[in-house]
A and B are shown apart, each in its own frame.
Chain A
Amino acid sequence: MFPASFDFYRAHSAEEAVSLLGEHGADSRILAGGQSLIPAMRYRLAQPTVLVDINQMQAANYITEENGELRIGATVRDSDLEFSDLIRTNYQLMSDVSDVVADPIVRFRGTLIGSLCHNDPSGDWPAAMLAARAKMIIQNKDGKRVVNADEFIVDSFTTAVEEGEMAVETIWPTPSKNTGASYQKIERKVGDYATAAAAVQLELNEDGTVKEAGIGITAVSYVALRVAEGEALLRGQKVTRNLIKAVAAEASKMADPIADGRGSAEYKKEVVGVLVAKGIMQSLERLGRKVEA
């Protein structure tokens, strides 16, 4: 199909982009990788009258690690993360996710920040953002503000980014050496949305008890969810099989999926628990540890 007609602007700085967004209001949209927006426009599910293209915004193309934080700009592609040695070495969860977002072709265009801002209820990155305790920097004509993952994710396809604003940077805390992580996703084929997926990040104390746990699940509700009850169960505990079962049950309890071509609600609810369990087990394995008896 053909998109409805629209005007096209190219912004060369965040200031310019924010100014254009302010000028054109709610019907304007930022075009980054375009991997969700353009298909939606072709089906006329989205009909923005103005597109603000940021692909030429060279200053937004950075991945930097400093002071225990990873900072990523607005035009960084999923493939940049997938092929980054820094990410592969230090950011297990992000590395896992960047291997399985959509398909390789999409990853060469799609951006991390674009995906987070799109906030598809079946997206991979929102679940990872929750588990990793990442943050977003949002800019408007008056300046910038920092928003935590929990506040950033508001509703289906809705984030804390308001009209006239642009998400310019996302910040991911650098995991300690005692951190293991895993992204468990099942999909019908490469490039499909997840049937269900779970992002798990576990930081252990020297004695093997859990210092901090992050669990995000996606494709099982109207937005990605943080399994806070499950995280609480893990904190301070040795990871046993029974504990994993209890955490998995928390994930299944929270999940409120819809039935679609990917599966029934019952199946998704049950399997997301299995994925959380597998995520916990793989996180431990990656730290060279096993599930306690």
Chain B
Amino acid sequence: MSDQIKDLNPAKECRAMGKSIKRREDARFVQGRGTYVDDIELPKMLHMAIVHSPYAHALIKGIDTAEALKVPGVKAIITAKDLAGFNLDWIPTLAGDKQMVLATDRVMYQYQEVAAVFAETRAQAVDAAQLVEVDYEPLEVVADPFKAREDKVILRTDREKKTNHIFNWNVGDREATDKALAEAEVRVKQKAYYPRVHASPLEPCAIVADMNTATGRLTLYLTSQAPHAHRTVVSLVTGIPESNIRIVSPDIGGGFGNKVPVYPGYVCAAAGTIVLGVPVKWVATRTESMTTDSFARDFHMEAEIGATKEGKVTALKVTTVADHGAFDAAADPSKYPAGLFSICTGSYDFPTAFTEVDAYYTNKTPGGVAYRCSFRVTEASYMIERAMDTAARELNMDPAEFRFKNFIQKEQFPYNSPLGWTYDSGDYETTFKVALEKVGYEELRKEQAEKRAKGEIMGIGISTFTEIVGAGPSKDFDILGIKMFDGAEIRIHPTGSVIVRAGTKSQGQGHETTWAQIVAEELGLDVDKILVEEGDTDTAPYGLGTYASRSTPTAGGALALGARRIREKAKRIAAHLLEVSADDIEWEDYKFQIKGVPSKSVTTQDCAFAAYTNPAPGDEPGLETTYYYDPPNLTFPHGAYICVVDIDKSTGEVKVRRFVAIDDCGTIINPMIVEGQVHGGLAEGFAMAFMQEIVYDEEGNHLNTNYTDYLIPTAYEVPKFETGNTVTPSPHHPIGAKGVGESPTVGSPAAYVNAVIDALSPYGVSEIDMPISREKVFSKLRAAGVEAF
């Protein structure tokens, strides 16, 4: 165990850590006193509306703006031709591809941005946008990645390579895996489609762009999960010096990965303010959000497990066809075009494994964001947990027993996976046992047997997942070349209150509370006297932002180590105040004391006052630091989820009776916030399992563009959750924390789906894809000859 961990002694009463302190940001949110981008009003501000394509694939023969320009209040309308003058008609994507800002000579997906209208009011801009006449010549549409794979219609005519294939990414030992599978006593194949879904933050993407033509400064108030990364991108794309760009990410109404990319609307608004010299506001409508924001998932997967007759796994192979849409705008670290999908061996000790992903262009909205997910971990976890259940069924083994047989054992950590990761820590058996006990697994299986005898339908689904989060170590992780460290700045004022700034950006995660708890714990200060500020690139230290459960693993580490650095200086001040040598000072019970003499002590607050009024001789005055933390490894949170469902034979309705979720995210900073995160993610997992899928028809028409047709669960639909934790601290993280925001979204879909399949297995059902509608269940029951009434 490292020295860093020894600092946090779980046996002693903590000052701030591990306490369910109420979220300090909530008062302003529940009172309507937050400031979101749409709340920002600037003098002379114009409003922007976007003209979208009704076609998924078409040539643009002409754009007539004459009638639209006649609408009162309209100041300008721009098209790709105007942007080309600024070299802004195409922009680079995070995946190293490029994408159109406004459609050039063609549109590549339905609802693609074609023109932007600037007017004095939002209503005028919308009125005028409807009058922009675009002459389209429809082209053949390829809306299916398997059709795209045939390369009969090449979608990206701008690229040198005339193919719809974007990349093949693979890892592991293909030959050894094939050999092990060929030799396996039992081979089980499982297909699974992870549908295209939308992160659906309540607040849509928005920007207020303000170019001050006198100072040359460009200020962007932006719904950004990564303000510094966006500042760098804006500078690289526009040529404006980074010092002349300020990005302010104010209160954000949910991100979930959706607010990581740079969207055409942002670029148009920025172009608008640069050209017109007045501020420009754009707030996406819900339809724009649904149709043009980056999608998530859309992975067609197939797994094959090899095992012995006794139920010991011997090999895993997972192959995937990924639909990336019209441009490769997936948001992944540069070296990982399929993200961290190679976590697909999960919690199980596979001696050998191989996985590959082939990605294709289609006439659909671009994307591939990590929706509440650390880069394709959600897909990977779903695949392995589904396949493990299928293998257990094939082996005629209880799925719980099968998992126990194959877990990576506690003693094996740090564990080197066959696909190249070094799992930092875990205790899968313990967590799973806690979950099984809480749910009453044995009794449930008995009840199920009794119900089955009566023709009633009940199922139990398990998911014992492992995540990989906290990107990440600079040796492997960068986005556009920028290493994925994160920064924190701590300034202690003379009277002992503090301002903390970080390169991360909360969108609801509760950083204003948890960051303060970390610093309070390390320095023995009151949480209430620590102000946390994020999101303004002029003041916050550089960092890569908040997504992929990375904030606590990265910025959380920076905060703890920064605070410890301050403690070192404070110790010298304490020595000065107590008139002893620094070597005679110890940090005990949140105070600096003369070794073994508790009565002779000073607090950090005392030291802070002295830092400004009576500095230690030879020391700089002041008490502050900036710390950039480059984590040595990723963290590997895990969990055990168990879902119990009852199915109504007549309509196919699935009722989730119980859902037990035991998470292990290492050290817990604030149990209430962890519980809240878990509830939120389980609800989103439920939504994906039972309700959500972005649907396109063959012509590339997007069929669910609003919340009537794309379903967001409410309190009525979401089941009751029973949550709990085990704690296996990360051995390398300064406070042992691993990150939790995404575990429930990653882990829960498989539990829901496995429960339904378990319920239907007596009727010969072994496959059902998300979202599990009543119709899918109804049809399977009718096909099996089960009478409705």
Residue numbers of A with Cβ under 8 A of B are: 1-2, 4-5, 44, 103, 186, 188-193, 195, 244, 261, 263-264, 267, 270-271, 274-275, 277-278, 281
Contact = CB atoms under 8 A, between A and B. Distances in A.
Contacts of B775: 263-264, 267, 271
A191 B712 CA distance: 11
A148 B375 CA distance: 60
A190 B789 contact: no
B580 interface: no
Interface stretch (B426-434, B484-492, B602-610, B703-711): B703-711
Given A267-B775, A281-B789, A274 B650 contact: yes
A275 B779 CA distance: 15
Contact of A277 (B704, B716, B782, B788): B788
B695 A189 contact: no
Contacts of A186: 651, 653, 774
B646 to A, nearest CB: 16
Interface in B656-715: 691, 695, 703-704, 708-709, 711-714
Nearest to A261: B709
A1 B287 contact: yes
Nearest to A275: B651
A189 B714 contact: yes
Interface string B355-372: 000000000000000000
A271 B775 CA distance: 9
B717 A267 contact: no
B778 interface: yes
B409 interface: no
5 contacts: A2-B123, A189-B713, A192-B708, A261-B704, A261-B709
A274 B651 contact: yes
A195 B123 CA distance: 35
Contacts of B704: 261
B126 A267 contact: no
Contacts, number: 62
Interface string B634-651: 000000000000000011
A263 B779 CA distance: 11
B693 to A, nearest CB: 9
B422 interface: no
B773 A190 contact: no
A202 B112 CA distance: 54
Of A4, A186, A189, A281, the most chain B CB neighbours within 10 A belong to A189
Contact of A189 (B127, B703, B711, B788): B711
Contacts of B122: 2
Given A186-B653, A261-B703, A267-B779, A191 B714 contact: yes
Interface string B241-280: 0000000000000000000000000000000000000000
A190 B708 CA distance: 10
A274 B285 contact: no
Given A188-B691, A190-B717, 11 more contacts: A1-B287, A188-B711, A188-B773, A189-B712, A261-B709, A271-B775, A274-B788, A274-B789, A277-B650, A277-B788, A278-B650
Interface of B: 122-123, 126-127, 130, 285, 287, 650-651, 653, 691, 695, 703-704, 708-709, 711-714, 716-717, 773-775, 778-779, 782, 788-789
A189 B716 contact: yes
B768 to A, nearest CB: 15
B63 to A, nearest CB: 21
B69 to A, nearest CB: 19
B776 to A, nearest CB: 9
Which interface residue of A2, A192, A264, A270 has the most chain B CB atoms within 10 A?
Answer: A2
Contacts of B789: 244, 274, 277-278, 281
Residue among B127, B285, B653, B788 facing the most chain A CB atoms (10 A cut-off): B788
A255 B714 CA distance: 30
A189 B773 contact: no
A275 B789 CA distance: 10
Contacts of B779: 267
A186 B711 CA distance: 15
Contacts of A271: 651, 774-775, 778
B226 to A, nearest CB: 29
Contact of B127 (A4, A192, A274, A281): A4
Contacts of B703: 261
Nearest to B649: A274
A192 B714 CA distance: 11
Contacts of A190: 714, 716-717
A4 B127 CA distance: 8
Q: List the 8 shortest-distance A-B pairs measured between CB atoms, nearest first.
A: A190-B716, A267-B775, A263-B775, A274-B788, A2-B123, A2-B126, A277-B789, A189-B711
Nearest to B650: A274
Nearest to A277: B789
A270 B716 CA distance: 26
